[in-house]
Structure 1
Amino acid sequence: MPAPPVRAPKGGVPLHLAALSDGGADPDAAHDDAGMEWWYVNLHLVTGAGEPLSVFAAFFRIGERDDEGGVSYSHTLAAAWSEPRTRRYTPLSCVDDANLTLIRKVLHHDRAYAPRLREALRHLVSADRPPLPDLPLEGEPAVRAVPFAVDYGPQGSLGRDPRGRYRLRLRHPGRPFALDCRLTPVRPAAWQGGDGTVAGLGESGEGMRYYSVTRLEAEGTVTVDGAAHTIASGSAWYDHEWGLDPISPERGYTHDEPEWDWCGLHLDDGQDLSVSSWRRSDRRSATGRTVDRTSLLVSPDGAAGTLDDWRFEPLERWTSLATCNTYPVAWRLTAPSHGVDLELTAAFAEQEVRTITVHRGFWEGRVEVSGRAGGRPVTGRGFVEVKPAQVLPRIDPLMDTIGAETRAQVALLYPAAASPSTTESLLGPIAPDLLAVLPHESLHRALMAPVGHTVGGIGKSWRSFALVAVLEALGVSSDPYRPLLAAVELLHTGSLMVDDVQDAAVLRRGRPAAHTVYGEATALNAGTAAYFVFDRVLRALVLSDADRLRTYEILCAMLRCAHAGQGLDLTRDWADGPGPDPALLGERVLAVHRLKTALPVRALAEIGAALGKAGPAQEAALCDYFEALGLGYQIADDVWDLKGHRAAAGELRKEPGEDIRNGRVTYPLVCALELLPGPDARWLWERVRGRPQDRAEIHACVRAITGCGALELALSRAEERLDRAWEVLEPLLPPYPVVALLRSLGFYAVTRDAELNG
């Protein structure tokens, strides 16, 4: 049974905080020497209608070192309503003007972000309002000591009455959600980790102070979809943490970024349990170090202890397509010394708060708990918070994340092992007698294995990201369309397999091209069959008939254009003539590139715009931007054919000069013909059109093209075209952070280096 409510004497520090008070000071009060301070509450409720609901709220106060050596403060609020039965998550993130100004100043001095991404982010935060989905705090935030109150205006406040009871109020300004509840402590506060210190979290090694009130009774009302419900029963958890040095904006963001995992659990045997791991991580080298670990175990009678031998291990992960953050969504928590062996499972995966205040977002969600504690079976519920490192010194980690998620989606459609169910998923509904006699292993080797071999290479799957980014830029969740990642990748992979046969390519994505492993006929057939996966995916998605029909039409048009472009690329008789005409050749090369590469990328934007219900001007501008992006990518690909495609570790991914060996007319070649003197231009033209096979002759052609400035001219023209398209598109999009990623994707496509090429 829980302990009786902890009451407070008249005046003074409430009894539930008395053991933590230093000289009569109120532990809940703000600390004016802290660079970071937050007050946090989570609740698990059951409404009068019997509906389960969980809510969290966190009030942040951030200290900034000013020019006179003093400290000024900015404020942010994060909250969410989590509905486990309907799997709906309604987040709220608000910032005040001072915090938005602080972010601008830090970005102004920043050197941690990739330069082009930093430029896009600076532009994003230059407006008067914060980027969506962040909202401005209404009113002037105030933090009072007597009586204790953290008042951030109508969107949220947390106060305490003379009896030690807290009152939490929340109101979402854009959605009909609210909360007004009183929280009565039933356990005394306890220092996390025994001494209440989180060491080494700051840039200079400074730490934080941290205590918890692990169980409070909740009563009041909660509003969901505009309907107010009485809280029939509810329990809450309260944290207060403060410390670190005030922020110095001139230092910018740090490469050595803090990240953490935390959980707070209520078990049905009356115990409360918390563990947290605090780290600093450097995205440049993909390395990190744990700076501290804390734990807290509170018994039903309020006695507090720690778990010294705990482990908190992820079991399953989920990738947010909106932020490209990957979070655990299932964990195993063990502490053998206390007989603790628990599994924590997210009520549902999509419980992410997206906010510019932590770069892109963090995961804060309800979890269900089962297992053993003290050697006895227990169940329970709780919250888990995951804040990963998110500064991007390069954009390719985002591409890597999307690539990993794309391959996971492909594996659902193209499993590694053969089976009757795999065959049926590939072919669609077929007669049972036919399914029973089909040689499933043979069919898998013929259709799935060659595709799996090619998908498993080092490609970045940026086309899949493009489709996702369009949806998110329009304010539409891309999560229901996650299977489209695989469909887009398989379409592209199938075309690559066909191209590799036609071009006699040796390598693809850092491994032998599929036809060199499985044979040309098998590779052609398997690559072509991969086109039809889009049909399987579209049939499974919940779409209106109009959206499904339009997507099919866009897809068919895309395939027609791509094959027309490939046909022209193969024949190349359009480039024949007595001598090179750079102007005419340039127009024709760009036309082939548009058909083969740019228009298929444009089609992805058109599909995203259709599903995201873009307006006519938005759709046209999105399509034009992605066509320019696709064209720029193809030109950059031609450039890297001359340099040789290598991955970050230096391994060769594609032979240099392959286009010259095949006699292909590329845009860098056209630019070289413009720049070279007449005799040199004719020499180069004759050599390339003769399809040289001798390595020395190929290298001589490469030197002629690269030595005259042709690569720089080709890329600058591609970038100028992309810039013009962006100038039209950018004002038409709502200011979501993914817009900065969209802009950076264009930079990536045109100016990527050898490590990013894929």
Structure 2
Amino acid sequence: MSSLNKTALANPGYFNFANSQKRSPRVPGRLWRQGILEPLDHVLAADGKRLRADLVEITFRAAGGLGSVPLEVIDFVELMHAGSLVIDDIEDRSTERRGQPTLHTLVGTPLAINTGNWMYFSALEKLLDLPVRQKHLLGTYSETLATIRRAHEGQALDLAADVTEMNRDEIYPTIRAISKLKTGGIVALASKLGAALADADERSQKAFHAFGMQLGTSLQMQNDIAELKDATKLNGRSDDLRNHRITWPWAWLSQRVTEKEFNEVRRLLQGCSSDEFHLVARELLASVSQVFSQYVSGEIDSAIANIRGSVKSHSEELIELTERLKQYHV
């Protein structure tokens, strides 16, 4: 259970919708519970890995910050990320997230969409309460809005792209862009926020943003591989294959084999029935199983190399985090 879950659900007034309750005292409390608190409880009760929250704390210290990061900052990061997952699950028609049913399968798509969007806006409200110096607050707020917008642009590309229809040379640049706009952008925001809390200058904040962007891209690589591995099981999760999503395994394959060999693997997906996805997954995984760790490590090592000049202290924490990320979910 996240720290946000423990804080918020023990005190519903933590969120500003409590003001709406007070202005509408005759509305039955069960409607607020059914419409907001119970869906929120389900989303936040899932066990996450706190990578983004940990990144804020570590970059805060690495950028010269003293003391600890306020809980409200961690809540902001977790709330925005969790809201994005609710929407992603709907658009991917996913049925499971972190070992439990996805929200829309329990409460229906309309309420799940509303919950995900409510989490976005609640996070933005919380952002105004963060202990960021006034000179950094406007920039942080603007960066957050831009991150959310870009994440939706990345999702638009993700939904529009069909790996069975794209030219082979289009796949790598497209998945790189999607990764930067979505996962990379949110992780980059968390990294930059840590630096802003430490009152780092603009140059350092940009460096930590770029650092987070590369880490986020590496996370997307690993998520794609993890789902592909799961899809090799007879009843494994196969959302990416079912939706014909372009993913990093397809991108790596496109760069390592001839056009003919690439199309041979891709043809397996065309016309594939739901009980055959595991066969496609096994073929695709076998084609990239020897190289994906190199790509992930390369992305992370490059991130560390590029940030060294901006790290003021606690560099060992950054190294430990990146080593942990190399083993993430694979």
Q: Give the TM-score, by structure 1 length.
A: 0.41
Counterpart for residue 265 of structure 2: 684
Q: Which amino acid aligns with 1:463?
A: R
Q: In 2, distance between residues paired with 1:549 and 1:616?
A: 13
Aligned partner (choices 265, 278, 291) of residue 713 of structure 1: 291
Q: Return the offset for 1:676.
A: 4.1
Say which structure, 1 or 2, has more relative contact order (CA 8 Å, 6+ apart).
2
Counterpart for residue 196 of structure 2: 610
Q: 1:334-373, aligned counterparts within 5 Å?
A: none
Q: CA RMSD in A?
A: 2.6
* Contact 2:230-2:237 within 8 A present in 1 as well: yes
SS at match of 1:692: coil
Q: For residues 691 and 711 of structure 1, do their structure 2 counterparts lie closer, same or farther at Cα, with a shift above 3 Å needed?
A: farther
Matched, 1:637 2:223: yes
Q: 1:94-109, aligned counterparts within 5 Å?
A: none
Aligned partner (choices 269, 280, 284) of residue 701 of structure 1: 280
Aligned partner (choices 237, 240, 248) of residue 667 of structure 1: 248
SS at match of 2:65: coil
Unpaired stretches in structure 2, ≥5 consecutive residues? none
Aligned partner (choices 9, 23, 33) of residue 444 of structure 1: 33
Aligned partner (choices 9, 12, 19) of residue 422 of structure 1: 12
Q: 1:82-481, aligned counterparts within 5 Å?
A: 407-415=2-10, 422=12, 425-427=15-17, 429-430=19-20, 432=22, 434-477=23-66, 479=68, 481=70
Counterpart for residue 82 of structure 1: none
Q: Return the offset for 1:476.
A: 1.5
Aligned partner (choices 304, 322, 328) of residue 726 of structure 1: 304
Q: In 1, distance between residues paired with 2:237 and 2:32?
A: 35
Matched, 1:657 2:233: no
* Contact 1:580-1:682 within 8 A present in 2 as well: no
Q: Return the offset for 1:665.
A: 0.9
Q: Which amino acid aligns with 1:724?
A: S
Q: For residues 414 and 536 of structure 1, do their structure 2 counterparts lie closer, same or farther at Cα, with a shift above 3 Å needed?
A: farther
Counterpart for residue 326 of structure 2: 750
Q: In 1, distance between residues paired with 2:178 and 2:114?
A: 24
Q: Return the offset for 1:430.
A: 4.5
The total of aligned residue pairs comes to 328
* Contact 1:471-1:478 within 8 A present in 2 as well: no
Q: Return the offset for 1:451.
A: 2.5
- Greater per-residue helix proportion: 2
Aligned partner (choices 133, 143, 149) of residue 554 of structure 1: 143
* Contact 1:410-1:490 within 8 A present in 2 as well: no
Worse overlay, 556-565 or 596-605: 596-605
Unpaired stretches in structure 1, ≥5 consecutive residues? 1-403, 416-420, 646-651
Q: Return the offset for 1:691.
A: 6.9
Q: Give the TM-score, by structure 2 length.
A: 0.89
Identity of aligned residues (%): 23
* Contact 1:629-1:722 within 8 A present in 2 as well: yes
Deviations 1:494-528 (A, max 9, x none): 11111111111111001111111111111111111
* Contact 2:187-2:213 within 8 A present in 1 as well: yes
Q: Return the offset for 1:576.
A: 6.6
Q: In 2, distance between residues paired with 1:597 and 1:545?
A: 28
Q: Which amino acid aligns with 2:6?
A: A
Q: Which amino acid aligns with 1:720?
A: G
